Amino acid sequence: MNAIIALSALAILTMFFGVIQKKSVLLPLILSGLIIVFFLNVIEWGTFKHYYNEMFIADNFNIAFTAALILTTFLVFIFSALYYRTVKRPLEDIYALMLFSLIGGITMASFGNITMLFIGIETLSISFYILAGSKKFDVASNEAALKYFLTGTFATGFLLFGMALIYGVSGSFNLQAINSYIIANKESIPTLFYAGMILVFVGMAFKIAAVPFHFWAPDVYTGSPTLITAFMSTIGKVASIAAFYRLISITFLNVHDFSVDILMLFAIATIIVGNLSAMTQDNMKRMLAYSGISNSGYLLFAIIAMGPKSAGTLLYFSISYAIATITAFAVIMLVREERGTFSLQDYKGLAKQNPVEAFAMAVAMMSLAGIPPLAGFMAKYNIFSVAMNGGYVWLVIVGVIGSMISVFYYFKPIIYMYFHRADAHKKIETTKAYKIHILLVSILLIILGFLPGLVIGLL
C-alpha cells in the first residue's frame, strides 16, 4: 500500500514538473523516487494486511511482484535518457503516464476484489494506449495506438461481461467469497458461472497476448516507440500474469479441472504459434514481440500446474524475461537511431565496432533462448519442473520443442553480430553512462542465473 501512495505522489509531482521546464532534474528525481518506493515496498515484507474491505491485499506475493515491477520500470527509465536525448522538452507527460501505468500494474498484483482487478487493468491499459501513440507525427505509432485501443477495449468488454456473470451466480465480487461459494455449491454450479469464467479467461488472454488472442501484439509492439515497447512488453506482461495467477490461485482453485483444459489449449497454441511466427521475422522488434508471445505460453505453465513452487517460479521467470527484454530493446533503440531501421541486416559486424553493446545483446538473446548458466535457462528449467511435478508431461514436451525452435531465431542476431562482416557501417557513438548501464544489466542477468533458489524461495 505504501508503494501505491508514494508512487501516486511521485507521478503527480512529475506531471506538474512541466511548468519548470528543467529537463536535467526530472529523470534523477524519478529514479531516486523509484528507489525510495522500492524500499518502502520491501519493508512491508512478511506482514499480511488488507485494506478497504479486502479490496487491496498486501501479502508477500504482492510485495514481491511490486518489487519486480518497480525494478523493471527503473531499468526502462535508465535507458529513457538515451532514447529521448534529442528531445528538448522535459517529457513530463510521458514519464507521468509510465508511472501511472506502473500503479495500475501494482494494483493488478494485489487485488482482493474483482472491482480492483478491473480498475488495475484499465489504469494500466489506458496509459498504454496513450504511450503507444506518443510519437504523435509518426503514422506507425498512431496506427499502433488505435489498434491497441480497439483490441484492448474489445477485451475489456469480454472481461466485464464475464465478471458480471460470475457476480450474478456467486453474489459477490470478493475473491474469497466467490471461492467459498464454489466450495459450498461444488456439485450444482450453473453453466452461467463457467461461461463467465471462460469470458474472463479470454479477457486475460488478450492482456497477456496468448494465442489465439495475440494478433494485436506484433503490430502494436512494432509501431510503438521502442522505449515504450520495452515498457509495455515487460510491465504489461508481468502485471497481467500476476493478476491471472492471483485470480486463479485464490478464486478458481476449486474448479481448477475446468480451467486447466482452457489454459492448456492457450499454452500449447501460444508456444507453437509464437515460436513458429518468430522464425520468419526480419524485423527485430517484431521478432521480440513474437518472443514475448511465446514467453506468455511458458508463464501459463506455472498457472496450469498450480504447485507449491508456482508463485516463486512465476516471479523468477518474469524477472529474467523482463531484464533480458529490456536489455535487447536498449540495444535495438541505439542501432535504430543510428541506422534507421529495425532490420536484422543492421546488426552485421556490430561486435567489431561496438563490443559492449553486442555483448549485452548476445547475453539477452541467449538468456531468452535458455542457454545455461544464464537466468533464462534456470527460469525455463524451473517452470518445466513445476509442470512436470504437476503431471503435465505433454505440456513439458511441447515446451521443450518450442524452446528448441526458439534457439534458431534468438541466435540469428548473434550470428549477424559476431560472424558477419559489416558493410560500410560506422561505429555507433554512445555515451559512457549508457555503456556502463547496459553492461551492468547484462551482468545482472548472469548473476541472476546463479541465484534461482533465492528468488523462488521467496514465495
Compute the least distance from the CB of residue 225 to another protein, in Å: 14
Q: Which of 119, 422, 428, 439 is close enough to bind another protein by CB under 8 A?
A: 119
Alpha-carbon Rg for the chain, nearest whole angstrom, is 21
| Nearest residue (CB) to another protein, 164 versus 393 | 164
Compute the least distance from the CB of residue 160 to another protein, in Å: 4
Minimal CA–CA distance to 239: which of 103, 140, 116, 336? 103
Identify which range of 118-126, 361-369, 377-385, 439-447 contacts another protein by CB under 8 A. 118-126
The interface mask with another protein, positions 191-220, x = CB under 8 A, is -x----------------------x--xx-
Helix (H, G, I), strand (E, B) or coil at 224: coil
Binding status of residue 385 toward another protein by CB under 8 A: no
Q: At a CB cut-off of 8 Å and minimum separation 6, what does 30 contact?
A: 10, 14, 77, 95, 99
Burial class (CB in 10 A: 0-12, 13-18, 19+), 146: middle
Compute the least distance from the CB of residue 6 to another protein, in Å: 23
| Nearest residue (CB) to another protein, 132 versus 241 | 132
The strand ranges marked E within 392-456 are none
| Nearest residue (CB) to another protein, 202 versus 395 | 202
Q: Which of 122, 264, 272, 276 is close enough to bind another protein by CB under 8 A?
A: 122
| Nearest residue (CB) to another protein, 276 versus 446 | 276
Minimal CA–CA distance to 261: which of 200, 310, 201, 193? 201
User: What does the block give as the cell for 334?
Assistant: 541505439
| Nearest residue (CB) to another protein, 281 versus 354 | 281
Q: Report the alpha-carbon distance of residue 374 to residue 379 in Å, rounded.
A: 9
Binding status of residue 139 toward another protein by CB under 8 A: yes
Compute the least distance from the CB of residue 174 to another protein, in Å: 9
Binding status of residue 145 toward another protein by CB under 8 A: yes
Binding status of residue 176 toward another protein by CB under 8 A: no
Binding status of residue 276 toward another protein by CB under 8 A: no
Among residue numbers 217 through 256, which ones bind another protein (CB under 8 A)?
A: 218-219, 222-223
Give the helix/strand (H/E) hosting 34: helix 23-42
Binding status of residue 136 toward another protein by CB under 8 A: yes
Q: Report the alpha-carbon distance of residue 116 to residue 120 in Å, rounded.
A: 6
The interface mask with another protein, positions 76-105, x = CB under 8 A, is ------------------------------
Q: Report the alpha-carbon distance of residue 161 to residue 144 in Å, rounded.
A: 26
Q: Which residues pair with 174 in a beta bridge?
A: 113
Q: Report the alpha-carbon distance of residue 134 to residue 136 in Å, rounded.
A: 5
Compute the least distance from the CB of residue 173 to another protein, in Å: 6
* 101, 123 Cβ separation under 8 angstroms: yes
Binding status of residue 297 toward another protein by CB under 8 A: no
* 392, 352 Cβ separation under 8 angstroms: no
Burial class (CB in 10 A: 0-12, 13-18, 19+), 265: middle
Q: Report the alpha-carbon distance of residue 317 to residue 82 in Å, rounded.
A: 27
Compute the least distance from the CB of residue 327 to another protein, in Å: 24
Among residue numbers 151 through 170, which ones bind another protein (CB under 8 A)?
A: 153-154, 156-158, 160-161, 163-165, 167-168
Binding site for another protein (CB under 8 A): 115, 118-119, 122, 126, 129-130, 133, 136-137, 139-140, 142-147, 149-150, 153-154, 156-158, 160-161, 163-165, 167-168, 171-173, 192, 215, 218-219, 222-223
